[in-house]
């Protein structure tokens, strides 16, 4: 599973990254988490607001910092 956090490095983006890491650990799944900070790459997803959460190429959330529990629900 591939999880991407789209954002330019703002505090909310960092928080979403941390929550995603917590969710993966709690779910006990094998996932690769990467941060996408380049504006051009973010725009390829059609995202105009950050932070955004992408799971296996599908945009799941835009403009929100989801809780670890909410992210974990999306992973299962």
Q: What is the CATH number of the domain that holds 48?
A: 3.40.30.10
The domain in which residue 25 lies consists of 2-75
Residues 6+ apart with CB under 8 A from 10: 50, 51
- Confidence (pLDDT) at 9: 87
Q: Given 1, 8, 10, 44, which residue is catalytic?
A: 10
Active site includes 75? Answer: no
Q: Given 3, 5, 6, 13, which residue is catalytic?
A: 13
Instruction: Please state the domain count of the chain.
Output: 1
Give the number of other Cβ atoms within 10 Å of residue 74's Cβ: 16
For the chain, the average pLDDT equals 96
Active site includes 10? Answer: yes
Mean pLDDT of 6-15: 94
The count of residues in the chain is 76
Model confidence band, residue 76 (pLDDT cutoffs 50, 70, 90):
confident
For the stretch 25-60, pLDDT in tens is 999 999 999 999 999 999 999 999 999 999 999 999
């Amino acid at each position: 599973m591939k999880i991407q956090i789209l954002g330019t490095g703002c505090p909310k983006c960092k928080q979403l990254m941390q929550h995603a890491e917590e969710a993966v650990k709690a779910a006990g799944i094998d996932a690769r988490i990467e941060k996408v900070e380049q504006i051009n790459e973010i725009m390829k997803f059609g995202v105009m607001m950050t932070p955004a959460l992408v799971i296996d190429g599908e945009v799941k959330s835009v403009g929100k910092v989801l809780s670890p529990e909410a992210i974990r629900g999306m992973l299962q």
